[in-house]
Amino acid sequence: MPTWLSRRRPPVELPRLRPRESATQATRIDLHEVMPDLLPYLGQAAYLQLEAFQTLSRVVGQVDDLAAKESVAAAAGAALSKHQGIVAEIRRRGDDPAEVMQEFADEIDGFTALTTGADWQETLLAVQVTNGLLDDFFIRLAVGLPGDVGPRMAHLLGSDGGQDGVMEVLRNAIGADPRLASRLALWGRRLVGDTLLVARSALHLSGNTATDEERIEPIFTELIAAHTRRMDALGLTA
């Protein structure tokens, strides 16, 4: 079992509304302190997209409806494009993508195992929830990257990932089976903790729990707020 799985869960607070300005201000200060180095950032982001691609591709094979297959395949293709964009960024620096990604392989493979559901509906919600959250997270971190990599990464990760189509597939599934909603709501809540652990593992933390929590709390609060909006859009309680 990768070591990070046994780490104590961060005491994540429930989303609170606050003026956007002050939240951004607070996050900017924290980012500087906890910002990962460029190569680990790129390696982790690249491997996460590769995993999302693989998971979505698996769901394409599990879905019967051809229109749903189309939508999930489009999302898989988008994850692959993002992966390839990040890999190009690693190559541009003269580094070997396989080497840079390698150190995250065990951690993220473990994460994928944890977020693989009992059926394709759960797995698809998991990709939507975890990828949505981690894309947001890496976009937030991008502002702290050196040179012009940051804007390129923010643009790449923020580009259309086919989420609308996936949302429709999930809504149709929920509409066809009323019991699915409560199962997915529960599953979605379980996923958030594990996803935030992956996000947390990207950061340079001081080891001083109080200081660390103070620094990352504003980022995580925003991530959870965005997560809540995504679950709302599916009619699920976050």
Among 87, 129, 223, 236, binds a second copy (CB under 8 A): 87
User: Is 70 a residue that touches a second copy (CB under 8 A)?
Assistant: yes
Q: How many CB atoms lie within 10 A of CB 13?
A: 11
Backbone φ and ψ of 119, nearest 5°? -145, 175
For residue 14, give the DSSP letter. P
Among 41, 53, 111, 187, binds a second copy (CB under 8 A): 53
Least distance in angstroms from the C-beta of 54 to a second copy = 5
Among 23, 35, 39, 60, binds a second copy (CB under 8 A): 60
User: Is 88 a residue that touches a second copy (CB under 8 A)?
Assistant: no
User: Is 57 a residue that touches a second copy (CB under 8 A)?
Assistant: yes
Which of residues 43 and 218 has its CB atom nearest to a second copy in the complex? 43
Span near a second copy by CB under 8 A; candidates 90-98, 173-181, 187-195, 209-217: 90-98
User: Is 231 a residue that touches a second copy (CB under 8 A)?
Assistant: no
Among 76, 145, 173, 224, binds a second copy (CB under 8 A): 76
Half-sphere exposure of residue 184: CA atoms within 13 angstroms, side-chain side: 29
Span near a second copy by CB under 8 A; candidates 29-37, 67-75, 126-134, 168-176: 67-75
- H helix runs in the chain, sequence order: 20-34, 38-62, 66-92, 97-114, 120-142, 149-158, 163-176, 178-201, 209-233
Residue 125's alpha-carbon distances to 112, 212, 221, in angstroms, are 13, 30, 21
- What's the gap between Cα 35 and its chain centre? 17
Backbone φ and ψ of 161, nearest 5°? -105, 15
Least distance in angstroms from the C-beta of 64 to a second copy = 9
User: Is 50 a residue that touches a second copy (CB under 8 A)?
Assistant: yes
Three-state DSSP at 208 gives coil
User: Is 58 a residue that touches a second copy (CB under 8 A)?
Assistant: yes
Nearest to 191, CA basis, from 229, 231, 219: 231
Backbone φ and ψ of 108, nearest 5°? -75, -30
Among 42, 45, 48, 73, binds a second copy (CB under 8 A): 73
How many residues are there in the chain?
238
Contact residues toward a second copy (CB under 8 A) are 50, 53-54, 57-58, 60-61, 65-67, 69-70, 73-74, 76-77, 80-81, 83-84, 87, 96-98, 101-102, 105
